[in-house]
Amino acid sequence: NMLISKSLFVDYKEFPKLAWWKQNNMPVYKKIRGLENEEQSEQLIELWQKVEDLVWDYFLKKFWLERLDVFKDNEAKNPLDEEDEDMTLIAPDYKTKRDNNLKRTIEAIKSKKPLIYQPGFLIDNLFVRWDYLKLNENWNYDLIEVKAKTHVRKEKTHQKIKNKNAWELENKFMSDISFQKYVINKVFAENWLWEIENFYYAYLNWNYKKQWNIDLNKIIILDQVDIESKVLLLWENSDKEFSRKDFLLTPLVVEDIVKQMRKELILDEDAFNKIHFFSWSKYLEYFWKDRDFWTIYWKGLTSPVAVRKLHFENKTFIDELTQEDQELFNKSDWSIWSARQYIINYLEAKQKWDLIDNESIKLELDDIKYPICLYDYETLCVPIPFLDNTSPYQQVVVQYSLHKVYKNGDIEHFWWVLVWDWEKNVKQLKIEENTNKVGFESEKVITWSYRDLLDEFVADIWEDFDKTFIVWYKAFENTRNKEIAETFDDLRGKFEMINENTYDLMDIFSKWYYYSLDFKGSNSIKYVLPALVPEMSYDWMWVPNWLVAMNTLNQIFEWKLSSEEREKQIKNLLLYCWQDSLAMYKIYEKIKEQLD
């Protein structure tokens, strides 16, 4: 009788094949979820734990409640903690630990312990482990599930709403709490316990801005689930009252889904696929292989009817499609270009050289004003902010690289990184690994505050705010600049001017004015750079991508590295950010050469 955990149930409801991978091939499942190594798994656990502890601090300071940890001897947790409880049962000693958890949970409830942490519930081989059981003023228990997120609800309407609490539960959270409620109510009934009175999600307030110490009353949102209530929505032009009710899955529906899971998840892959056909939208989860840009499965061919039809006709490769097959992609989708145009470009590029529209590129670059400021931000994104004037999960700029190019060919380069320390300081670094030094180099480490880094950035731009700023994928940098303008009113004008004068170099490639098979169907600088500037690549770097950069920054901020390792990683981070702004300049040069 297959054991079904909450996370397996939620995965099945979200996408059945995902649950099949989880049950039958855990390494593949982890890769689909983006967990390439144990370090990433551990970082996720640590992230969740910090938010759970923050909620405990909230209860401690508001109600003076110490928590009783009924899972305290289970130090050897699975890398994904309770999210993969079902997989840990294969460990020989885990059943004993789990049984102790179940026993302690019932004992604590019967003893009316005021705050129970990590209670476990098992019945009919259905298992859940909740975050907190809290005794309320009626001497009944409330269940609080902590999510290291800033929302559990989705938008109710397309009109702008400022009150995020007014939204209905996202599907995965609806499935999550429905399954947990079903299991826990059955356990309580079997043990002649009281019914659970209230169900809550505890999560982080996305709108909270830290000022000195964390304000627990403002950063934590306790969101009661499965009740009917009136909510006042703040509309753009007028207020409107809205009746909200969370429609959870009924016990009968949960039981039917559990029966389906026990029948289907034991099947081999071919048999499972005959029940749950490929539906186009989740190629990675379904097949677990790369979406090659020369196939119908490439992520840019967002035409579900066409992809499904060709898939079931066993037509995979673009250059094998008939004219009739290609015409299935004729209808433009939501993006600025059609899937059919991509197919036309791909087939044309296979017949000859790169496709380059010099006239359109020239029009794009005609308004460039010198000196050009090519810059790149690196950010830190954590659930609990530790820098003043920042919010949960805000992409906080803690590093930048700026290449300033003058009309006469002179280049200046400024690169800075912010790290946490108790003293305000600016330290000059010398990075020998910088093999592409320009006429002027300024490489420094700033300690103290977020604002200090921004002031240095403004000083490096100096009086050139009305010139051209070049980035790659401006939605990211422009959004950061908007957040800075909203936070620091005295900087608003400067950062708004940066956005007004920003050109996105990626546009030349995303609009297909320059198309090459060497880009492998991507507009990412990681693909365009080695194709146009083969002498430059990211392969040699100790920090290969933004995720590693963010995790490294987090380790530096939390003082998890020795002094020697800290300085080494700071240099690696600076080199990574430097590579992006230099790469833009090298690509810009190549484009100008092409025009000339």
Q: HSE of 9 in the Cβ direction (CA atoms, 13 Å)?
A: 30
Reduce the DSSP state of residue 129 to 3 states and report it: strand
Helices (H), ranges, 281-357: 283-287, 304-312, 323-327, 339-351
Reduce the DSSP state of residue 52 to 3 states and report it: helix
143-186 tens-digit pLDDT: 999 998 988 887 654 455 555 556 778 889 999 999 999 999 99
CA distance 515 to 500: 27
Tell me the two tokens of residue 590: 């190549």
Assign 368 a pLDDT band (cuts: 50, 70, 90): very high
Tell me the two tokens of residue 298: 């490439």
pLDDT given at position 439: 75
pLDDT given at position 231: 64
What is the reported pTM? 0.84
List the single range of 45-54, 234-243, 337-346 with lowest mean pLDDT: 234-243
pLDDT given at position 474: 94
Phi-psi region of 46 (alpha: psi -120 to 50; beta: other; left: phi over 0): alpha
Assign 135 a pLDDT band (cuts: 50, 70, 90): very high
**Bridge partner residues of 240 (DSSP):** 233
CB 153 within 8 A of CB 167: yes
Among residues 324, 332, 279, 264, which one has the least CA distance to residue 301?
332
CB 210 within 8 A of CB 387: yes
CA distance 110 to 547: 45
Average pLDDT, the chain: 84
**Percent of the chain, pLDDT > 90?**
46
pLDDT given at position 336: 47
Edge to edge, the sheet with strand 411-419 lists: 425-428, 440-447, 411-419, 396-405, 372-380, 469-471, 502-504
- Using the predicted structure, report yes or no on whether residue 199 has a pLDDT greater than 70: yes
What's the mean pLDDT in 273-294? 88
- Using the predicted structure, report yes or no on whether residue 322 has a pLDDT greater than 80: yes
CB 553 within 8 A of CB 576: no
Reduce the DSSP state of residue 458 to 3 states and report it: helix
**CA dihedral over 182, 183, 187, 190, signed as positive or negative:** positive
What's the mean pLDDT in 572-579? 73
Assign 79 a pLDDT band (cuts: 50, 70, 90): very low
DSSP 84: G
Assign 362 a pLDDT band (cuts: 50, 70, 90): very high
Higher pLDDT, 360 or 163: 360
List the single range of 387-396, 420-429, 562-571 with lowest mean pLDDT: 420-429
Burial of 482 (0-12, 13-18, 19+ CB in 10 A): middle
- Using the predicted structure, report yes or no on whether residue 265 has a pLDDT greater than 90: yes
pLDDT given at position 237: 55
pLDDT given at position 431: 67
Edge to edge, the sheet with strand 120-123 lists: 4-5, 126-129, 120-123
